[in-house]
Amino acid sequence: MTMMMKTLLILVGVVMIGLVECSSGAPLVPAMFAFGDSIIDCGNNNFLSSIAKANYLPYGIDFNGWPSGRFTNSRTIIDLLGEKMGLPYLPPYADPTTVGSRIIYGVNYASAAAGVLDETGQHYGERFSLSQQVLNFENTLNELRYQIGGGANLTRYLAKSIAVLVLGSNDYINNYLLPTLYPTSQLYSTSEFANLLLNHYTRQLLALHTLGLRKFFIAGVGPLGCIPNQRGTGQAPPGRCLDYVNQMVGPFNQGLRALVDQLNSQHPGAIFAYGNTYGAVGDILNNPAVYGFSVVDRGCCGLINLQRITCLPFSTPCPDRNQFVFWDAFHATQGVYAVLAHRAFVGPQNDCYPINVQQITLL
């Protein structure tokens, strides 16, 4: 099969799925609740005392031409997944207007610089760690009781809603790989650190289950050694990813996939699914032309010699944004998130284990 044929088949598949999604009026789930970091932050850090913010151009340049707090040029994978399920964009929890009817279809708790561990990203200032995001969700439940009623109504609503979690990257980039600021790399081997993360992650997943959620999609960590921030350390050969960093996240991803099996066996009334972010992003990086990309080793936003940072305020990004895999030194472009959302929604077991998001919504 030629590369052009592959590209055509992918585009046809996306169009057909879009037609199926648009054909039904009601959302596929009552609500979506998103927990994560800057990959899916939709503006929470705008309201926190943090230097990790995306509240200035060129962030959001393709999102109505104005920054929304999203760390990309337009929409995130959460926005795009929500569209596939017929949901409106989730409001950020920290926004004072996220009350009343605004929370009915779900809330986004994700916070830039946040990690599974409470201390991760602390050098950036305030952020909602995973444990704090779970507490914030509990606060939302108090408000939801007024909106939809308590008892059986709330129980059914939560059981049919979906939780999406995208965490772990910062625990490496903004913790383990910063030995001058965090002691974790001296205290733990890579496998021990992965187990530490998994233990903390498990506790918070079980807390969300106790609060009533029953459908979980948990994304793994992507190939961090390939992001411009890590390529820019000078440790990687020209045109190559930083292999030892990619290998470092392997035990965490493997453990997360195994955790899904464990949780499913222990909680038969719930479904936990693992998203193979590493494999999906790796496929894009290895076969960029198949997906319409041509630049994989630097960000669209930022200077060539400043590829280790986020976008500079009011800097001019590349005009051909659809050709770039990375938006800045850490985050992908909307084009990549569209591919990831599609694979999360309808992908086979290699992408989503044991089932994909669309299958989760049907349960």
Active site amino acids: 38, 328, 331
Instruction: From 60, 140, 56, 67, select the one nearest 106 (Cα to Cα).
Output: 140
Q: What are the CA-CA distances from residue 103 to residues 47, 87, 233 (Å)?
A: 18, 12, 42
- The rounded distance, in Å, linking the Cα atoms of 200 and 117 is 7
Alpha helices (H) along the chain? 3-22, 77-84, 130-148, 151-160, 169-171, 184-187, 190-210, 228-231, 243-248, 250-266, 277-286, 334-346, 357-361
Report whether 42 contacts 94 (CB < 8 A).
Answer: no
Q: What torsion, rounded to 10 degrees, do the Cα atoms 254, 259, 260, 262 define?
A: 130
Torsion of CA 192, 196, 201, 204, to 10 degrees: 160
Find the helix packing angle between 130-148 and 190-210, rounded to 10°. Answer: 10
Q: Structure tokens of 251?
A: 């035990």
Q: Cα separation of 258 and 251, whole Å?
A: 10
d(CA 70, CA 80) in angstroms, rounded, equals: 13
Residues 157 and 161: their CA atoms lie apart, in Å, by: 6
Among candidate residues 298, 284, 301, 287, the one with its CA nearest the CA of residue 335? 284
Separation between Cα atoms, residue 157 and residue 278, nearest integer Å: 32
Q: Which two tokens stand for residue 2?
A: 């030629």
